[in-house]
């Protein structure tokens, strides 16, 4: 007799319904959960959860090449896609486009990173100091114009004047005392500086080498009759081929060689930028790797060992170009003091923060070896030179054993880093503009 099994066709339906419900909840609930998580993190996540802030400002500081008629130089420029507009200049290579601004920087009518126009004719009571260089001197990654090295130097100079007026006893007197023991005491006090209005104007341009800077000085800045010049540079000279020491917006040979690689890099960077725009991704990345720093994608802001000299011969040629520009600078400016400071670089810092250690690790040992060798060779070549009116110093090791984060990438500085560099340069200016006390006359 045939036996029937009951319930088998019905017992699978609850299982099917359960599985279907799970799939439906997953398909609908997962996107909804991600949306809620994204909104929650965007509005309520602590700042430290989001990791380093470099990613949010790189686009604002990357260069955007503009033609003479104001149109972007798409597909024919060596650099692509930032917010900081630059235009071709047949003399200096390229210049910042005047009268542009965003939330991080403001460029005035002369193409300088200051808030107000700089008149050609200055007040006789003003001392006008120009700081010239590449992106470090420009203040790339600074929160605003006031956080740049140049503005910080200006603040230090004018604050010193206020302190001299408010508390003159804390500074060297106008006339030394007569007795030797009293002279020694006042010599220990800080010197007074000249009582004028100090203006420090940031005329640096990201990507510039000393060749670009020399041209900028001779053909533009000299018109403003500065009282002193600060050149903060060196890094771009060390990573620019000796055969092409000046930076240009358009270099056909380089373009043909790097077009494919650059396009691939730009596409990868666009994807990373898009992915990094999600707060969920940023928090996850920070949890997995708190020191993750995405470097800027612009042509001049990619850091790797291949940009540095691979042979001693090539390195010497690059340094000789730099040294030749130093000598030209001295010969062109016999009347005003000049400070030439070799800029800081991350491998010169002895005590690295967690973020800085990760940056150095990501650069690789070949980069560290080449840049260290390059800096040592550059210092050896130029530090012993004493050209007329030029004070040469190196800031490569200026941060010493400081443990806080100073570098956001190999050459761009945190606000603390900009402050420390400004103080170092202020000390040199203090020596230049100090008032020498007069000797005391014999008591009657």
Query: Helix or strand or coil: residue 320?
Result: helix
Q: Is residue 340 predicted with pLDDT exceeding 80? A: yes
CB distance 435 to 175 below 8 Å: no
Tell me what pLDDT residue 54 has: 43
Helix (H) or strand (E) holding 69: none
Q: Confidence band (pLDDT; 50, 70, 90) for 299?
A: very low
* 189-243 tens-digit pLDDT: 888 999 889 999 999 999 999 999 999 999 999 999 999 999 999 999 999 999 9
Q: Confidence band (pLDDT; 50, 70, 90) for 330?
A: confident
Tokens representing 34? 């991600």
Angstrom distances, CA of residue 237 to CA of 48, 100, 209, 371: 36, 28, 5, 12
* 417-432 tens-digit pLDDT: 999 999 999 999 999 9
Q: Is residue 297 predicted with pLDDT exceeding 60? A: no
- Dist CA 141 CA 147 (whole Å): 9
Poorest-confidence range of 23-37, 191-205, 290-304, 348-362?
Answer: 290-304
| Among 6-20, 129-143, 173-187, the range of highest mean pLDDT | 129-143
Q: Confidence band (pLDDT; 50, 70, 90) for 256?
A: very low
- Dist CA 279 CA 59 (whole Å): 17
CB atoms within 10 A of CB 373: 15
Q: Which residue has the higher pLDDT, 405 or 278?
A: 405
Q: For the chain, give every domain's residue range.
A: 110-433
Hey, which residues does 390 pair with through a beta bridge? 338
Q: What is the pTM of this model?
A: 0.78
**CA atoms in the 13 A half-sphere facing the CB of 182:** 8
Does the 110-433 domain belong in CATH 3.40.50.1110? Answer: yes
If we measure between CA atoms, which residue out of 358, 341, 339, 334 comes closest to residue 407?
358
């Amino acid at each position: 007799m045939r036996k029937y099994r009951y319930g088998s066709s019905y017992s699978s339906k609850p299982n099917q319904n359960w599985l279907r419900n799970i799939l439906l909840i997953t398909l609908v609930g997962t996107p909804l959960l991600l949306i809620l998580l994204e909104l929650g993190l965007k509005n309520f996540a602590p700042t430290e959860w989001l990791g380093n802030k470099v990613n949010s400002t790189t686009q604002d500081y990357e260069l955007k090449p503009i033609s003479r008629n104001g149109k972007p130089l798409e597909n024919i420029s060596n650099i692509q896609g930032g917010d900081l507009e630059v235009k071709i200049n047949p003399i200096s290579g390229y210049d910042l486009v005047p009268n542009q601004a965003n939330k991080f920087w403001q460029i005035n009518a002369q193409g300088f990173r200051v808030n107000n126009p700089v008149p050609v004719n200055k007040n006789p009571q003003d001392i006008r100091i120009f700081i010239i260089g590449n992106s470090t001197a420009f203040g790339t990654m600074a929160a605003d114009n006031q956080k740049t090295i140049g503005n910080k130097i200006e603040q230090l100079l004018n604050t010193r004047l206020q302190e001299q007026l408010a508390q003159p006893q804390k500074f060297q007197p106008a006339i030394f005392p007569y007795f030797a023991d009293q002279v020694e005491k006042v010599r220990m006090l800080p010197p007074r500086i000249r009582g004028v209005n100090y203006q420090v104007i940031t005329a640096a341009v990201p990507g510039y080498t000393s060749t670009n800077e020399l041209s900028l000085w001779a053909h533009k800045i000299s018109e403003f009759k500065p009282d002193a010049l600060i050149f903060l540079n060196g890094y771009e000279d060390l990573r620019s081929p000796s055969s092409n020491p000046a930076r240009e917006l358009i270099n056909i040979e380089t373009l043909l060689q790097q077009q494919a690689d650059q396009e691939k890099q730009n596409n990868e960077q666009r994807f990373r930028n898009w992915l990094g725009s999600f707060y969920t991704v940023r928090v996850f990345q920070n949890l997995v790797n708190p020191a993750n720093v995405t470097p800027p994608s612009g042509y001049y802001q990619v850091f790797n060992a291949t940009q540095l000299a691979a042979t001693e011969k090539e390195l010497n040629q690059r340094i000789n170009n730099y040294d030749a520009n130093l000598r030209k600078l001295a010969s062109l400016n016999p009347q005003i003091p000049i400070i030439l400071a070799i800029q800081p670089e991350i491998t010169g810092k002895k005590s690295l923060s967690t973020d800085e250690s990760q940056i150095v690790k990501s650069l690789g040992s070949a980069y560290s070896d080449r840049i260290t060798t390059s800096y040592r060779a550059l210092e050896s070549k130029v530090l012993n030179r004493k050209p007329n009116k030029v004070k040469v110093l190196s800031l490569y090791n200026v941060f010493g054993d400081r443990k806080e984060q100073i570098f956001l990438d190999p050459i761009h500085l945190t606000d603390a880093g900009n402050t420390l560099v400004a103080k170092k340069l202020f000390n040199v200016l203090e020596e230049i503009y100090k008032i020498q006390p007069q000797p005391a006359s014999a008591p009657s």
